Structure 1
């Protein structure tokens, strides 16, 4: 079929080579990954080293106290999910939040919303089982940047400036960490994090004393649990300001941290146009992408133009398909027995496809699952604020402003090596503005529990030991022979799968190169329940980059979409790596929006 031709003026080249490729949301992490490949490490060594660097150089977007999910295929070709999403602590009960703390929503900032940190253990698990490097070698880049310093991003400086009042008035440990001279850092100023460096050094020392590389990784995992659990439990017990404008104590304990182990899981997959798309299970939002693709796959022949995101009809159809998939996410998904066989069936996709009309829906329309019931999520109009939120600590992913009006992103990385190992991973959580910095650690805890509901009947309810339904959603694409040929993903919370959908349509159907697809105009819907505090929605809402064209924007408005102008280059933080099994040629592409993400390789 014929899509709208890509813009001939690419922001970046499509990189090609045969040795190794990496693409991440920060050039220092990309350079780190590539340097590991150059020194003989494989894709999993490189990804792990890059991830620890992202903790240091993008602290407003992720941290060691947060979480991650990954999808990867080793050279054996078997796709797996790396599950680094920690569960709710043992004391994180609905009764405690509702009755003791007087809450009707889990806060968006503050340690009460902390799940068990999962990212570090997951990366070490991957390193142990699929990497080749030692803990000390993998951590060396991150230790260097934390101990000796790195030029701080303007976005980090701006984030600290926005929450300076919160830090000064309510989170003194964060003020000490991020405003040591009484002011936020300036863009380009060299900053250090000695406490963070010390924690990493202690992990490396624990690994050094072990009798083997594998045993060393497990020793580092044990040391991590001890160091973080002890420090976090003693600190979060002191009440501090949360996003509802009140002070609460956290409930995370050293035992919660000690009990957690990351793991591997079977992925959820769907076929689309001769490819297999690989995602997490429905404890993440990955199946949203699969459901949307299944719906859109039914438009063929004369209707195939409905898949072009750059046209009015295509953009409208894509937005409507996303609304339907997200309505199912908000109703059916969670860390429980989710009826994915039904939700991903061809018959169900046909039912959902029939609901897409010529005008924008302003309703939340989850599908019917035989024999199942679940409460639809509460619908809170955007602009409203939960009661008692005056003086709130912040909101959303990540929380960056005391009134919750500024939103942020997450991190992402993709790596492929010459042996065919490939990984896509999305680290997140533990943002510097999530909750107060924990003394002795140099970083804070995450707030992923804000994605749970205080409703016993909800599949994504808050429950001890249950994972929050995360938005982290990396992707693998397999060819007809089941071989991994592309890894891709993006930061962006609820937008992660929404931004990946047009990218995949343009690459797999429209014939775009990955860089052309990344550079093309992006869009997403806000006509669903936001996963982040204060959990609002915009009926019929659509956010579209302005360079899609006035005719398309006018047409979408005429169809009833409630448009929010997004500027010409504002949506999406996509990156991707590729591999052609027939030739061994590798590729990489990265987002230019925000002047931060980069790809490298040879």
Structure 2
């Protein structure tokens, strides 16, 4: 049985050209990246320029105090997917014992006690140094200009600030000064500035003014970031107690030594062969292998069970995701993870056999010989597990305490030489912790993704928290053919999975697959504070159709309707290695993602 034909309606064209393409979650970042390509830069120059613009124009979704993960292939070694690792570890003082001594049983979702060592800026610098061609000053000029001179603010930025305006006014006065200079949240389209951050970028560039080579100038900026005024200002400021999402006041534990000890770098990708393609993800210190495990499970089914547009396909996809996500909770972390076993055909077959015609309401991690799975504490959102009031969309859900879910951004670039890169920056949101005076940004809260109880993702000094950041690179016959990603926290891989099934199995075009209705499960403990789950929860876009939604409910899924256009904000670039034709697609959801190229 063939896949459901794609809708004849498309929100925008599949872009195709022969020069270069960029796609991101904000049109200004896409335009910045494309402008670099037009002026002779490669995919890596363009991605870094666009990434720093994202810090400025999507401050509710990422920031300089946050983190990132990326995947890329260079023109010289196209068949070798590489992970760009920009996830900082827990500081030396971040221990489960310290949190418990502070009266906490979870790492808070807002406040500097939840801060990992910032990794995004160092990772961008490393990527530019090793694979870019442009000078640091030229790459940062676009972001510095938007920060210094202003840009029209997104309505969603103002809405986020409005949600935490009371917190800012009462407890985080430095954030109120930065984000509510007129005493109110900014209105959509109003020009906002971050002159403090512009000065930070200018000082980083100035640090390398006397160096003799491009690489040395970038290295000088890295040293100043990790060991100089940025680290000093951040560590000093967050050492004072301030309000956290727990409703109590605590000091952060990040020190200058923590800043200096971290360096971004590269790692081999985790990969899986699926329907003639190699799908590349981060290692299991991130959630990336969830996508690989889900694909491994689904690969054993006939095509009629892989179509997310049908009731049977949607059910099968949801059940495969539950099994993969249960393994994420049990086995993933920055340690000795049995990934070879988890991705083996025999293990995938064991997991596949658990999928029946009815929805599971259990957390069912698999067994690994000689080891016991970690079972996290299971908390429901409303005590009884009522899902009717749950927010469904991947755009940030912000509580007045500053706790935020599902917010990040993404950028993809492909150049005419065959370089391709996908990067998902996040953390350091304006609502994460108080804005650091003189820097114009705050620290992130990635440590909320660790447990205090134990297990492979237990809070441990020097270990990376299990991040949800999860870009994807797809290769065919040893060549990179697609780079993609999406915001969405726990939903990032869940929203990318239907796209891969529709394009690699169903033969849909990238934009058709982006536009198609999608879904995800909430039947897994969330990665964000307060770490709740909804057994059997299935969040679906109404466009899947009444028949599909009714069938999912009949099978026992606790269906939450998300509206027609609310789940996902995918960005995609592509390249056909046989012809050199490049392409791009962007998601209409959120009304700000954009693709460009020629």
Fold-level similarity (TM above 0.5): yes
Residues 560 and 512 of structure 1: CA distance in aligned 2, closer, same or farther (over 3 Å): same
Contact 1:398-1:431 at 8 Å conserved across structures:
no
Alignment pair present for 1:468 and 2:465: yes
* Length-normalised TM-score, structure 1: 0.96
Match of residue 309 from structure 1? 308
Residues 149-160 of structure 1 correspond to what in structure 2 (within 5 A)?
Answer: 149-160=150-161
Contact 2:406-2:487 at 8 Å conserved across structures:
no
Match of 1:245 among 230, 244, 247: 247
2:524 aligned counterpart, secondary structure? coil
Contact 2:164-2:402 at 8 Å conserved across structures:
no
Match of residue 337 from structure 1? 336
Residues 254-293 of structure 1 correspond to what in structure 2 (within 5 A)?
Answer: 254-293=256-295
Q: Give the number of aligned pairs.
A: 586
Residues 194-213 of structure 1 correspond to what in structure 2 (within 5 A)?
Answer: 194-213=195-214
Alignment pair present for 1:295 and 2:297: yes
Alignment pair present for 1:420 and 2:421: no
Match of 2:452 among 454, 457, 482: 454
CA deviation after TM superposition for structure 1 residue 384, in Å: 4.8
Match of residue 117 from structure 2? 116
Match of residue 223 from structure 2? 222
Alignment pair present for 1:589 and 2:589: no
Contact 1:573-1:591 at 8 Å conserved across structures:
yes
Contact 1:398-1:433 at 8 Å conserved across structures:
no
Match of 2:443 among 439, 442, 445: 445
**Unmatched tracts of structure 2, length 5 or more:** 385-393
Alignment pair present for 1:553 and 2:549: yes
CA deviation after TM superposition for structure 1 residue 486, in Å: 0.5
> Aligned equivalents of 1:326 and 1:576: distance in 2?
24
1:511 aligned counterpart, secondary structure? coil
> Aligned equivalents of 1:408 and 1:377: distance in 2?
20
Match of residue 39 from structure 2? 39
Contact 1:499-1:523 at 8 Å conserved across structures:
yes
> Aligned equivalents of 1:126 and 1:592: distance in 2?
29
Match of residue 18 from structure 2? 18
CA deviation after TM superposition for structure 1 residue 408, in Å: 4.5
Match of residue 429 from structure 2? 431
2:423 aligned counterpart, secondary structure? strand
Match of residue 391 from structure 1? none
Match of residue 379 from structure 1? 378
Structure 1 segments of 4 or more deviating over 3 A?
396-399, 403-408
1:208 aligned counterpart, secondary structure? coil
Alignment pair present for 1:61 and 2:61: yes
Residues 495-506 of structure 1 correspond to what in structure 2 (within 5 A)?
Answer: 495-506=491-502
Larger deviation: 545-554 or 366-375? 366-375
> Aligned equivalents of 1:267 and 1:528: distance in 2?
25
> Aligned equivalents of 1:144 and 1:220: distance in 2?
18
CA deviation after TM superposition for structure 1 residue 398, in Å: 5.3
CA deviation after TM superposition for structure 1 residue 97, in Å: 0.8
Contact 1:136-1:208 at 8 Å conserved across structures:
no
Residues 241 and 399 of structure 1: CA distance in aligned 2, closer, same or farther (over 3 Å): farther
1:221-261 CA-partner distances (Å, limit 9, x unpaired): 01112222101111111111111110000000011001110
CA deviation after TM superposition for structure 1 residue 49, in Å: 0.3
> Aligned equivalents of 2:66 and 2:417: distance in 1?
30
> Aligned equivalents of 1:588 and 1:376: distance in 2?
41
Match of residue 561 from structure 2? 565
Contact 2:457-2:466 at 8 Å conserved across structures:
yes
> Aligned equivalents of 2:90 and 2:210: distance in 1?
32
> Aligned equivalents of 1:489 and 1:197: distance in 2?
28
* Length-normalised TM-score, structure 2: 0.97
> Aligned equivalents of 1:91 and 1:397: distance in 2?
32
Residues 298 and 107 of structure 1: CA distance in aligned 2, closer, same or farther (over 3 Å): same
Contact 1:206-1:219 at 8 Å conserved across structures:
yes
Contact 2:402-2:431 at 8 Å conserved across structures:
no
Match of 1:514 among 492, 499, 510: 510
1:163-196 CA-partner distances (Å, limit 9, x unpaired): 1001001100000100111111111000110100
Residues 131-150 of structure 1 correspond to what in structure 2 (within 5 A)?
Answer: 131-150=132-151
CA deviation after TM superposition for structure 1 residue 208, in Å: 2.3
Contact 1:400-1:408 at 8 Å conserved across structures:
no
CA deviation after TM superposition for structure 1 residue 374, in Å: 3.3
1:271-308 CA-partner distances (Å, limit 9, x unpaired): 000000000000000000000000000002xxx21100
> Aligned equivalents of 1:459 and 1:59: distance in 2?
31
> Aligned equivalents of 1:167 and 1:494: distance in 2?
27
Match of residue 391 from structure 2? none
Match of residue 490 from structure 1? 486
Contact 1:397-1:493 at 8 Å conserved across structures:
no
> Aligned equivalents of 2:401 and 2:183: distance in 1?
22
Residues 46-195 of structure 1 correspond to what in structure 2 (within 5 A)?
Answer: 46-75=46-75, 76-77=77-78, 78-98=80-100, 100-195=101-196
CA deviation after TM superposition for structure 1 residue 332, in Å: 0.3
Residues 497 and 406 of structure 1: CA distance in aligned 2, closer, same or farther (over 3 Å): same
2:28 aligned counterpart, secondary structure? helix
**Unmatched tracts of structure 1, length 5 or more:** 386-395
Contact 1:574-1:591 at 8 Å conserved across structures:
yes
Alignment pair present for 1:235 and 2:231: no
Larger deviation: 403-412 or 76-85? 403-412
2:16 aligned counterpart, secondary structure? strand
Contact 2:204-2:224 at 8 Å conserved across structures:
yes
CA deviation after TM superposition for structure 1 residue 407, in Å: 4.3
Contact 2:150-2:192 at 8 Å conserved across structures:
yes
1:487 aligned counterpart, secondary structure? strand
Contact 1:398-1:434 at 8 Å conserved across structures:
no
Alignment pair present for 1:575 and 2:577: no
